[in-house]
Structure 1
Amino acid sequence: MRITIFGATGHVGSQITAEALRRGHQVTAVSHSGKTVADTTPAQANFDDTPAVVELANQADVTVISVPPSRTADEPIEVNLDAHQRLIDAAPDTRIVVVGGAGSLLVDGVPLRDTPGFPDAYRREATWGIELLKRYRQAPVGVDWLIVSPSPEIGPGERTGQYVVGTDSPVGDHITTQDFAVGILDEIEAPAHHRMRITLADK
């Protein structure tokens, strides 16, 4: 399968890239720098360059987007959100799998971002995740998208190959980046969810 991965050298994207290669897929690894990733076709593109993004996406069977908003306050989250909106409006032929945030997950109907004790350091990215989900839910019916939110905590660890799947509420407190990648590749290879958000957690 041909898989284009935006953010292929990032914290999460690199694990998705590694898992795709482990399974023998043809990977186009897209990054801002165009950094070469072994056994992939490297490509350089900024996610806000919509014509380039659509061209690369349409060359693949599935496109994974693992590009969070800039973590510097100098760049508004709308820069990233508007890039997603332009991609939605372009209605690419490929399936789009987006790495979302955990802050939009619901706890008793309330976004995790708005629950007591939610860390201020993650509030900006959580707000991005809530708006991102809203925009994809308003996408035209011809756009085949999926947002995958991690558990509230995600970090490097052991690849067990096991995980739990939920929809709009957390199904666990933590997931490793390795098993998060396993879950995404499982969904790519055997699509079970379309035009919705799912979440993954350690089993």
Structure 2
Amino acid sequence: MRIVIFGASGGTGRLLVEQALHRGHKVTAVARSLDRLEPHDRLTLQPADVRDEHALHAIAADHDAAISVISRPVRAHGDLHSRGTHAIVNALQAQGVPRFICVSSGGVHPKDPGLPLWYRLAIPLFFKDLYRDMYAMEQIVRASTLDWTLVRASYLVDTPARGHYRIEDGHNPRGGSRLARADLAAFLLDELDNNRWLKATPTLAY
């Protein structure tokens, strides 16, 4: 499969690229800086700002699917998720790329009773701007004509994959607050293969 990965230079993105190549896919990696990715004969590096829709049109052409793991620092302000995803969605639709998997967060709905209490209390204090931007991102994906999946991940940690986690549709697994990036990357690629969660919002946590 020919996959374009947006946000490929981040912690999850690098693992996703590595796992996709291991599974035999052809990968186009997109991020502003791609210096931390190792060369591979099935890997194409495309430095770009995901908010630059004009650049994304050329990049998206001739791919079967796209995965977005774009992210910004938690305390940073801005609209990277919504603006970037708007550009990505428009480019994919224009270039006829049918499948799109977009990573969001369980914190998008701060009143979700499945979230730990400390998380629900922290969201309006520390993460309000971030999750407002992610909420707007989700609405852009849902309004698209793509075969989309919105994957809400719990707080991502740099630990070895466990190979198992809990999944709920549209709400956080009760009390779950952690997920290894490696497990998230594996789930994203599995979903490309099985399309179990088309037009759905699987939410992952241990």
Match of 1:179 among 183, 186, 199: 183
Deviations 1:18-49 (A, max 9, x none): 21122121111112024353322111111011
* Distance in structure 1 (CA, Å) of the matches to 2:83 and 2:44: 27
* Distance in structure 2 (CA, Å) of the matches to 1:86 and 1:7: 13
Aligned partner of 2:39 in structure 1 is 38
The one-letter code of the counterpart of 2:135 is: I
Unaligned runs of 5+ in 2: none
The percent of aligned pairs where both chains have the same amino acid is 25
Retained in 2: the 8 A contact 1:183–1:200? Answer: no
1:89–1:113 distance in 2 versus 1, CA, 3 Å: farther
Retained in 2: the 8 A contact 1:103–1:130? Answer: no
Aligned partner of 2:58 in structure 1 is 55
Worse-superposed segment, 182-191 or 55-64: 55-64
1:22–1:45 distance in 2 versus 1, CA, 3 Å: same
1:100 counterpart SS class: strand
Aligned partner of 2:67 in structure 1 is 64
Retained in 2: the 8 A contact 1:113–1:127? Answer: no
Worse-superposed segment, 179-188 or 91-100: 91-100
RMSD: 2.6
Unaligned runs of 5+ in 1: none
Residue 72 of structure 1: how far off its partner (Å): 6.6
1:130 is aligned to 2:135: yes
Aligned partner of 2:196 in structure 1 is 192
1:107–1:181 distance in 2 versus 1, CA, 3 Å: same
The one-letter code of the counterpart of 2:69 is: S
Aligned partner of 1:14 in structure 2 is 14
Retained in 1: the 8 A contact 2:65–2:100? Answer: yes
Aligned partner of 2:84 in structure 1 is 83
What's the TM-score once normalised by structure 1's chain length?
Answer: 0.83
The one-letter code of the counterpart of 1:123 is: K
Aligned partner of 1:145 in structure 2 is 148
* Distance in structure 2 (CA, Å) of the matches to 1:43 and 1:117: 36
Residue 108 of structure 1: how far off its partner (Å): 4.0
Aligned partner of 1:158 in structure 2 is 160
Aligned residues: 196
* Distance in structure 1 (CA, Å) of the matches to 2:53 and 2:181: 27
1:126–1:197 distance in 2 versus 1, CA, 3 Å: same
Match of 1:169 among 171, 174, 191: 171
The one-letter code of the counterpart of 1:135 is: I
